[in-house]
Amino acid sequence: MELSEYTFRIILLLIPGFISFVIADALTSHPETKLHRVLIESLLFGFSSYFVYFLYTELPFVNSTFSFLDTLTTKNATLDFAEILKVSGISILVGIAFSFFSNRKWLYKLTRKFRITGKHGYVDLWSYVIDSDFPNWVIIRDTENDLMYEGRVEGFSDSTEIDELFIRDVLVYKNSSAKLLYSTPALYIPTKRESLTIEFPLLKFTNAIDRPPLEEKEKNNNGN
């Protein structure tokens, strides 16, 4: 078997993995994907899709064979295009399922709960805070323009290049005097995030709010 023929066979066999990758890449937020990650993730998605198909062929009422491994390793094996087509269909579901679990960050939430990791799984802390389980009613202070917005977060940018917020049911105040200026059903804020502070007024305090002031702690420590 010539190398070019074998390479062509591998490319056809791994089409399902690339389909899953494209779907997951479009439906999840993540840093820019390097070429080696594209190849590795496509391989993993591909093998996952073929494994699901293998489990399907093992069901007693299914009259189908699994030829992927033979096609991959046997010199004179012929491609089963029907199998590739079926696995490509499965790969769509694999990509959607991966996106579903990835966007909910369940693995990160579980491992954070048991203090296994401190990572949150988002592209940056901006995305983590805005897309978290915190109440989405916020107070946004733009001190540079002396404005304060109170509303409900409806959408946000997930890129560090463009900072955008879209909020609904908005009350706009003068920040320095808390004077109500106007209200609007929705507001788009393109201001750079460095000039904004975001408060979550509906988020409940923890028991730490009852702590004594730091000055009192320092005084007690010096006295001891």
pLDDT in tens, 60-91: 888 888 888 877 777 677 788 899 999 999 99
| Strand order across the beta sheet in which 147-156 lies | 179-189, 165-174, 147-156, 137-142, 196-199
pLDDT in tens, 18-27: 999 999 998 8
Give CA separation, 205 vs 14, 149, 201, 214, in Å. 51, 22, 10, 18
Judge contact between 184 and 170, C-beta under 8 A. Answer: yes
Judge contact between 71 and 8, C-beta under 8 A. Answer: no
pTM of structure: 0.66
pLDDT in tens, 26-65: 888 777 778 888 889 999 999 999 999 999 999 988 888 8
Judge contact between 94 and 20, C-beta under 8 A. Answer: yes
